[in-house]
């Protein structure tokens, strides 16, 4: 039986908006893109619970700590706890809360929690896909600017004769993190999209470097 998720979506948006920290890389538009990607994967995984996937898609960033925060690896666990409390308050089915908690906990790259359910695999892929492609690259440079990182190394942007260091140069993040994200997809649909988006990023990087070094 198909569940009408319209009313739930509006409630989730209200919860997420109330927790918005003003981070342009983790705002409501990010959550909407995650849910859109997850919705596409749900079409190929009818065994997955759409309510769990939707709730985790919209609430996975309730606790959003900066990339360089010492508790960054705990952010998804903290977000999962807050999400469970918020969902209980709106009458979300209690039998589904553990599924939402796990999907939120496992979405985080830095937490390194393996996804055990199809819902968690879908949410993890959907969130990571938003780190790839044109939007993902824009988010990468946005975060790099927030953290005071230079766009690229002045004379060796590709790191041919130095160690890559994305704590200093945003462009280094492509191979140090984004390429690993692309290789971490849990679903076939996620893998296909990740390859395409990673190819786009590398083409952009090649053009960027050509201009940078001109």
Q: DSSP letter for 150, please.
A: B
- What is the CA 80 to chain-centroid distance, rounded? 15
Q: Say what the pTM is.
A: 0.92
pLDDT at position 2 is: 52
* CA atoms within 13 Å, Cβ hemisphere of 20: 18
**DSSP assignments along 42-107, one per residue:** HTT-TTS-HHHHHHHHHHTTSS---TT-TTGGGHHHHHHHHHHHHHHHTT--GGGHHHHHHHHHHH
| Spatial distance between the Cα atoms of 146 and 136, rounded to a whole number of angstroms | 15
| Spatial distance between the Cα atoms of 157 and 164, rounded to a whole number of angstroms | 9
Burial of residue 37, with CB atoms counted within 10 A of its CB: 0-12 exposed, 13-18 middle, 19 or more buried: buried
Tokens of 169: 């140069």
Closest CA to 168 of 154, 186, 183, 178: 154
pLDDT at position 3 is: 60
pLDDT at position 1 is: 41
Instruction: Give the torsion sign (CA, 57, 59, 65, 66).
Output: positive
Q: Could you identify the residue written with the tokens 């796990």?
A: 102
CB atoms within 10 A of CB 146: 14
pLDDT at position 69 is: 76
Query: In the chain, what is the straight-line distance between the N-terminal and C-terminal CA atoms, in Å?
Result: 59
pLDDT averaged per 10 residues in sequence order, the chain, 214 residues: 79 93 83 97 96 98 80 88 97 97 94 95 98 96 94 97 97 97 95 97 97 87
User: Which H or E run contains 15?
Assistant: helix 6-18
Domains of the chain in sequence order: 1-114 (1.10.3210.50), 132-213 (1.10.3210.50)
């Amino acid at each position: 039986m198909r569940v009408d998720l319209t009313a739930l979506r509006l409630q989730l948006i209200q919860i997420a908006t109330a927790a918005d920290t003003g981070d342009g890389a983790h705002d409501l538009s990010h959550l909407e893109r995650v849910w859109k990607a997850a919705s596409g994967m749900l079409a190929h995984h009818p065994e997955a619970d759409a309510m769990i996937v939707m709730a985790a898609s919209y609430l996975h960033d309730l606790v959003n700590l900066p990339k360089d925060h010492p508790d960054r690896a705990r952010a998804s666990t903290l977000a999962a706890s807050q999400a469970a409390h918020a969902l209980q308050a709106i009458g979300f089915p209690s039998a589904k809360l553990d599924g939402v908690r796990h999907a939120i906990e496992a979405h985080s790259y830095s937490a390194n929690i393996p996804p055990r359910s199809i819902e968690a695999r879908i949410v993890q892929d959907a969130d990571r896909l938003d780190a790839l492609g044109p939007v993902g690259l824009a988010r990468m440079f946005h975060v790099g600017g927030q953290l005071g990182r230079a766009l690229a190394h002045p004379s060796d942007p590709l790191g041919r004769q130095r160690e890559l260091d994305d704590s200093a140069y945003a462009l280094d993040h492509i191979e140090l993190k984004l390429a690993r994200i692309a290789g971490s997809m849990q679903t076939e649909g996620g893998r296909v999209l990740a390859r395409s988006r990673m190819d786009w990023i590398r083409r952009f990087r090649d053009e960027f470097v050509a201009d940078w070094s001109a």
